[in-house]
Amino acid sequence: MIKNKTILVVDDSAVMRQLTSAILEDGGYRVLLADDGHTALEHVRQRAVHMVLTDWTMIPMDGGELTRQLRLRPDHAHVPILVLSTVSSGASKAEARQAGASGWLCKPIEPATLLAVAGSLMNLAQA
């Protein structure tokens, strides 16, 4: 049931954090926000998350490094990680897969698509 699911949104753009958060909250999810990878790691140390949505291009820790760091944590080895980015290069997507990302969506985000992909990835993670 999605009402009990928490999604961590990581993006250095306040506008994107708020937009993504609004979409997810309208879809019934609880949302935590982080403006960089370091803050995201602090969040996951303090509470359980069921999914992470991360921007790819951030400073000082980008989405790839955040994904690698999360995959090193036994409690996040199988948590879905979805990259949301304006970057669309095949090389970046391949790097994301190698780091352990579960999927990639290009910005701008269609609300229905984001909710469908998030739901699918979380259902797969529970299977």
**Helix extents (H) in the chain:** 14-26, 37-46, 63-72, 90-99, 111-126
pLDDT in tens, 63-112: 999 999 999 998 888 899 999 999 889 999 999 999 999 999 999 989 99
- The pTM of the full predicted model, rounded to 2 decimals, is 0.94
- Res. 53 pLDDT band, cuts 50 70 90: very high
Q: How confident is the model at residue 127 (pLDDT cuts 50, 70, 90)?
A: low
Instruction: Note the pLDDT of residue 75.
Output: 87
Residue 102's pLDDT is: 96
**Domains of the chain, CATH where assigned:** 2-126 (3.40.50.2300)
